[in-house]
Amino acid sequence: MTEREVLLTGIGGQGVQLATQVLAAAAVLEGRDVLLFGIYGGAMRGMNTDGTVVVGDGPIQSPPLLSTTWSAIAMHDRYWAPIAPKVRDGGVVVVNEATFGAPLDDTRYHVYRVRATELAAQAGDELATSMVIVGAYAAVTGLVGLDALLAAMRESVPAYRRQHLERNEAALRIGAEALDSLAVPAWSEELARP
C-alpha cells in the first residue's frame, strides 16, 4: 500500500484550509482513501493555519498529526520552520514565491517556487492564490488530477462564496500549467488513476 502525505501551511486568510479541503475532496472523487486534518492558530486571520492531507490506495495508516511528510505546500514562510524538518529526503516542497523568502534546502528535497499571487491576479482574483498553488502542486506530483480538483473546488466552496467559482477554476487551471507535469510523481504507473 502507498500513502502520500501533504502538509499545508500559511497565515490565516490565505485559503490554506480551503486548499486542504479541495485537495482531500479531489482524492476522494478519484476513489482514494483520505485523511484530512486542519489546525488553526489563535485567530481566523493573521495567525498560523496548517492542514494535513494523507492520500492512500487503501486504508490510511498515518496518524492525523504527522512526524514526517512526503510533501509540503507553503503559502507563507512565517510558520515554515516547524514544517521544514518533517519533509523527508527526496520529498516535494511547493511555495508561493511572493510570500516565501526563507531559504529552502533544495539538496534535500525537490523545491518548486510558484508565482501564485501573480498568477491568481491573472485569473482575476488574488484571493485565489491557494487554488493556483494547489493546481501547481497537483500538476508536479499527479497526486490528483485537474478534473477532480475542479469538481472538488465546486463542492468545497460555500454557498455564500459561489461568486468566486469561475475565478477559482481559472486559478486551478493556471496553476496546473505553471509547473512541469509529473516532475515528481506521487504514484507509480500501476497506482496512477486517470
Over range 41-68, report the average pLDDT. Answer: 86
Give mean pLDDT, residues 76-80: 94
Q: How far is the C-alpha of 186 from the C-alpha of 130, rounded, in Å? A: 20
| pLDDT score at 116 | 97
Strand 69-74 with 3-11, pairing: parallel
Cell of 11: 497565515
CATH superfamily, domain 3-178, is: Pyruvate-ferredoxin oxidoreductase, PFOR, domain III (3.40.920.10)
Q: Give residue limits of the domains in the chain.
A: 3-178
Cell 506530483 locates to 141
pLDDT band at 192 (very low <50, low <70, confident <90, very high): low
Percent of the chain scoring above 70 in pLDDT? 94
Specify the pTM. 0.94
In the chain, how many H helices and how many E strands? 5, 6
Say if residue 46's pLDDT is above 80.
Answer: no
Proportion of the chain above pLDDT 90, given as a percent = 85
Q: In terms of residues, how long is the chain?
A: 194
Write down the pLDDT at residue 62: 87
The amino acid that residue 70 corresponds to is: W
Q: What is the DSSP letter of 142?
A: -
**pLDDT, tens only, 142-171:** 999 999 999 999 999 999 999 999 999 999
What integer best gives the mean pLDDT of the chain? 93
